[in-house]
Structure 1
Amino acid sequence: MLEKNQNLRSLHIGECEKLSHLPDELHTLRLLEELTLENCPSLEFIPITTQSQGMPCLRKLKIENCEKLSSWPSGLEYCTSLQELDIENCQNLRYLPVDGLQTLISLEELTLFDCPNIEFIPITTQSQSMPCLRKLKIQNCEKLSSWPNGLEYCTSLQELRIENCQNLRHLPVDALQNHVSLEELYIEDCTNLEAIPSLDNLTSLRELSIWGCDGLTSLPSGLQSCTSLKKLTIGKFHNLISLADVDVSRLQSLFYLQILDCRKLKYLPTGLRSLTSLERMIIGKFWEELDSFPAFELPSQIRELDITGWPKLKSLPQEIQHSTTCLEKLIIYSFDSMEALPEWLGNLSSLIRLNISDCKNLMYLPTIEVMQRLTKLETLRISRCPRLAESSAKEGVPEWHKISHIPNIRGN
């Protein structure tokens, strides 16, 4: 049948539960540009091409939910026009080409997602690299035990995601040194990773996320060199105690900062006040033995602040009261021991939205005079604060008169 469709440019084979083999004539589709194979749980073998006759026009290949597939598509190395390769949820896939993928000289995007039995990823060698590779995503490959071999030679890389690779422990010291074009770096949920190499040369980096890496006790060195950084996410570090040795003052392009869920953290970075571009900050859920929030500097131009507490905290951090001219959105979450909001809340004259959530002992808002000074406040949301909700839910109850002038009041 395939020999009668020589002009076919796109082929999608899916939802074929009993399909175990593809036809050997697949390689005769010499004009094929896109091939998708998905939800074929019995598929064991994919004959893409042969050395003598291949698919010279194939640009995009996606293989998804083919549970029995255990080997790399045969002849794929001869598809030198391939630009996108996406392999997802192939539970039995164990082996990639021993010689690496360097023959895929046009490859720009490579995704390996939910392939838990892959242990080793040979990308390339020094003698022959992948000059076009821009995006590499490796996610949910639980047995992966080493950094992709030869990745340091892919100097055009712009986006790198390594996520939920539980067996990954060590990275080469120079793993990131050649990636001067890298713009996005995500290393997340690699719980046994012990260290991340220096970021010294990542001057083009715009987004950095290090999340859920319990084996780390410190951030990688060289963060101050990432002067193009706009978004920084740090979180779920259960062995990180201090960030006091991290000076972020050179990150003048930083727009978004998140430091969240670090259960032993006692000290925050220095230099925050000097970040003139920082407008949104998410911070909190630190060491539960602290009875006050760690001291930190809040930039005067901050517009959105989400702050999360823990059971022993009885008050909001004092630093917030100095954000009088720009702060438009304030989210207060999980300050369990706080019974009243501070009177200095009235100094936040630019506040438009105030969310208060999961503060189970909170009973009192500031005085009516203070609340009426918040002339720009349009939305107040009170969620899962049972004691405050009872007293402010309707007219005639003690706290209602303090907020009845606010146009939009929400709660549950």
Structure 2
Amino acid sequence: MTCKRLTMWMPASPYIQSEILFPKLETLEIQRCPQLEKVPCLQLQSVKDLKLDKVGDTQSLKMEKMKVLPQKLSYFSKLENLTVRYCENMKSIPNGLMSLKKLAVQKCPSLACIPDDLSSLNTLEIRVCPLLACIPDGLSSLRELIVIDCEGLQSLPKSLKECSSLELVCICECPLIKGPIPDLGRLEGLVKLYLINSGELMIPCLQWIPNLHSLWELKIGGFGNTPNLPKLTYPHSLRNLSLQDFPNIKFLHQQFLPSTLHSLEIFRFDELEQIPEWIGNLSSLQSLTLLHCNKLKCLLPLKHATLQALYIADCPLLTERCAKDGGYEWPHISHIPNIHIS
């Protein structure tokens, strides 16, 4: 439903509130209704998917006027997926969502807390919620935890280290995270881990990442102004590695990467001028991606690399140097079957 001028959806008569309407309705989406001031307290017991997108986000509407919807979500007794986006004045998600399996919240600048009774939740995704300070315990069924650009987040649930069902953890751009930091090295089923610029989480993770024996994708970076990559032992299961946000590193020292590594991404190395020799010696490496490396100009070590794909984007010095007709670096990479430069 998209109605920019809608201010009230259905009259809130006692008869309507007592009835179960749309008994077979499973998906309800309310999008781009900035003037909406009231939603009736409907007993939509069949709804499994509820999406609120840009609802009541104008200056004339305060979310408190819509308490009927956020405070009565328990009427959605079968609700499994809840998505809330661009609701500027929403301060909390109510308790009582016992059947909820996925909660996704994006760009809700007033959100300060989420429920602490989400034991059935499989996926928690929170993006750009600057007032959220903590994530509660009790997420015992969680498989995916995604927290991005939550500038006020200070703590992670202590019980996270015991959540054996976790397969994906993504915590990026949360610079105020403080201890105690849960030891995720016990999570034997973790296959994807993304940790970027997230406060006191960054240093302890170097100790427990080597214990993640099922890990096959790692994105890591944002350790401040360090001139060198931090020392890290990579799990032998690792297939994909992304190194990000090292603005002061001029040279990539030898990294002892597993022989199983298939793809490597180097992203936002502002001072890096040359690809190191050891990258050309990675016999298992099939794909190399170079992004936002402003001073990178030399790809000589790739001359004998067995790469199948090379991706280059926003590396201004390489655009001309890798030109097919006369580019200085072209002879070093021309043997690679798939080359994409932008």
The two structures have a TM-score, normalised by structure 2, of 0.83
Question: 1:93, 1:118 within 8 Å by CA — same for their partners in 2?
Answer: no
Question: 2:53, 2:86 within 8 Å by CA — same for their partners in 1?
Answer: yes
> C-alpha displacement at 1:85, in angstroms?
2.4
Q: CA RMSD in A?
A: 3.0
Alignment of 1:303-318 (within 5 A): 303-316=239-252, 318=254
- How many residues align? The count is 331
Match of 1:135 in 2: 81
Match of 2:10 in 1: 47
Distance of 2:278 and 2:202 partners within structure 1: 25
Change (3 A) 1:226 1:237: same
Distance of 2:18 and 2:50 partners within structure 1: 13
Q: Which amino acid is the alignment partner of residue 176 of structure 2?
A: N
Distance of 1:49 and 1:143 partners within structure 2: 23
Change (3 A) 1:203 1:312: same
Q: Does 2:33 match 1:90?
A: yes
Q: Which amino acid is the alignment partner of residue 284 of structure 1?
A: G
Structure with higher Rg: it is 1
Change (3 A) 1:381 1:38: closer
Structure 2 residue matching 1:78: 3-state secondary structure: coil
Deviations 1:77-100 (A, max 9, x none): 531624332211211223455xx6
Question: 1:382, 1:410 within 8 Å by CA — same for their partners in 2?
Answer: yes
Structure 1 residue matching 2:155: 3-state secondary structure: coil
Question: 2:276, 2:301 within 8 Å by CA — same for their partners in 1?
Answer: no
Distance of 2:122 and 2:45 partners within structure 1: 21
151, 166, 169: which one aligns with 1:229: 166
Q: Does 2:135 match 1:196?
A: yes
Distance of 1:163 and 1:359 partners within structure 2: 29
Distance of 1:244 and 1:303 partners within structure 2: 30
Structure 2 residue matching 1:89: 3-state secondary structure: strand
Q: Which amino acid is the alignment partner of residue 315 of structure 2?
A: C
Change (3 A) 1:304 1:399: same
Compare 41-50 and 353-362 and name the one that shifted more: 41-50
> C-alpha displacement at 1:350, in angstroms?
0.8
Q: Which amino acid is the alignment partner of residue 89 of structure 2?
A: K
Alignment of 1:329-348 (within 5 A): 329-348=263-282
175, 187, 192: which one aligns with 2:126: 187
Question: 1:49, 1:78 within 8 Å by CA — same for their partners in 2?
Answer: no
Structure 2 residue matching 1:345: 3-state secondary structure: helix
The two structures have a TM-score, normalised by structure 1, of 0.71
- Structure 2: unaligned runs, 5 residues or longer: none
Change (3 A) 1:163 1:399: closer
Q: Which amino acid is the alignment partner of residue 274 of structure 2?
A: A
Over the matched positions of the two proteins, sequence identity in percent amounts to 33
Q: Which amino acid is the alignment partner of residue 108 of structure 1?
A: K
Distance of 1:156 and 1:383 partners within structure 2: 43
Structure 2 residue matching 1:380: 3-state secondary structure: strand
Match of 1:78 in 2: 20
- Structure 1: unaligned runs, 5 residues or longer: 1-36, 53-73
Distance of 1:277 and 1:394 partners within structure 2: 40
Deviations 1:309-342 (A, max 9, x none): 34312233644x322x211111112211112222
Distance of 1:294 and 1:347 partners within structure 2: 21
Deviations 1:263-289 (A, max 9, x none): 8875251321222222122222442x2
> C-alpha displacement at 1:262, in angstroms?
4.0
Alignment of 1:300-379 (within 5 A): 300-316=236-252, 318-319=254-255, 321-323=256-258, 325-367=259-301, 371-372=303-304, 374-375=305-306, 377-379=307-309
Structure 2 residue matching 1:111: 3-state secondary structure: strand
Q: Which has the higher contact order (CA 8 A, sep 6+)?
A: 2
Structure 2 residue matching 1:88: 3-state secondary structure: strand
Structure 2 residue matching 1:114: 3-state secondary structure: strand
Change (3 A) 1:313 1:265: farther
> C-alpha displacement at 1:215, in angstroms?
0.8
Change (3 A) 1:94 1:393: same
Q: Which amino acid is the alignment partner of residue 126 of structure 2?
A: I
Distance of 2:73 and 2:47 partners within structure 1: 12
Question: 2:151, 2:174 within 8 Å by CA — same for their partners in 1?
Answer: yes
Structure 1 residue matching 2:92: 3-state secondary structure: coil
Change (3 A) 1:75 1:113: same
190, 194, 211: which one aligns with 1:254: 190
Distance of 2:201 and 2:195 partners within structure 1: 10
101, 107, 110: which one aligns with 2:47: 107
